[in-house]
Structure 1
């Protein structure tokens, strides 16, 4: 069963990435502006002191405007640093000039925060975690790219007893009927797309 679910995930990933590759720079810019506006209205971000986020690359829904708006609000924004084993360290976002391009083996260049590394556990201090993804379904099951970095982040939050708001940033077409889930998957609380916010049942009562 698990092999079938993994095959389904791979097929879904390929299809979704193909759609993203077809987006023009204008499409990406327009979506990024709308996405930032929607995300900034989230109550989960309104009271957040620390938000773990990420720098979008390629055709991903753009996060630059959102990062700057959060920082302007006085939010401490943590950004990931990819480690050799695919785990994530974290650093504080200090504006666009604080980002450096880093090329990791077999991956496109990522923009990562310069400056002090806070350690993988820093994410447990976040009031909200903005997650990259390729899709989400009606149960809040997120489809990632398959590298496992954010599976580790979510497991770390679980071990620490941390319960931040988990929010995935997507395009409108990426809210789908079904994402094959596995027992360890931790559902997200909300998905933000350029046209609105989709909320999911949270057993924790958020």
Structure 2
């Protein structure tokens, strides 16, 4: 029910709000020390009324950062491919679920994310402890477990709207806190990256 509530609020956002928020989000994110020094960033392409990511992806790429984007696998795990600009994306419909924009080029395998210095995570909310509420599909839970198994410790950053930073979200045993949240109006760190 909590997820539906956040999605309903997003659903009422205008295209102008989504576009302007994406620009502001990119400007804030680019100030993050974690992104300033990153050589490889695992990110995602926003869909529907998610906080916009294209401006951020393009700015990272312009800095010479290698940007990895996910491709959803049939079991909800994620493969990865390199971002080479908006023209390198393919719109992929996954059954009855939402269509996603995925890298059209070579697949690098699910373990490619372990090379990332920063992982930008989608979400619906984050709480005061840095606990993230995702959409419930488990794809990013698998990514976080993969990073842990590999001993990789990238900075974990969730991208949200301001109203999606809340006092508390429900937590399950497998959930892990993020290091920071970026919203159009600012950045909040939860722990040392």
TM range (shorter): over 0.9
Question: How many pairs are equivalent?
Answer: 193
Residue 63 (structure 1) aligns with: 53
Partner-residue secondary structure (3-state), 1:28: helix
Question: Aligned runs of 1:83-162 on 2, under 5 Å?
Answer: 83-162=73-152
5 Å matches for 1:5-24? Answer: 11-24=1-14
Deviation at 1:106, TM superposition (A): 1.5
Separation (CA, whole Å) in 2 of partners of 1:54 and 1:118: 15
What's the offset of the Cα at 1:109? Answer: 1.3
TM-score (norm. length: structure 2): 0.99
**Corresponding residue of 1:163:** 153
Of the structure 1 ranges 70-79 and 108-117, higher mean CA displacement relative to structure 2 is found in 108-117
What SS does the corresponding residue of 1:129 show, helix, strand or coil?
Answer: strand
Deviations 1:50-81 (CA, angstroms, capped at 9, x unpaired): 00000000000000000000000000000000
* Unaligned segments of structure 2, at least 5 residues: none
- Give the greater-gyration-radius structure (CA): 1
- Which consecutive segments of 4 or more residues in structure 1 shift more than 2 A? none
What residue is the counterpart of 1:31 in the other structure? 21
Aligned Cα root-mean-square deviation (Å): 0.7
TM-score (norm 1): 0.93
1:85: Cα distance to partner?
A: 0.4
Report whether the alignment pairs 1:194 with 2:179: no
5+ residue gaps, structure 1: 1-10
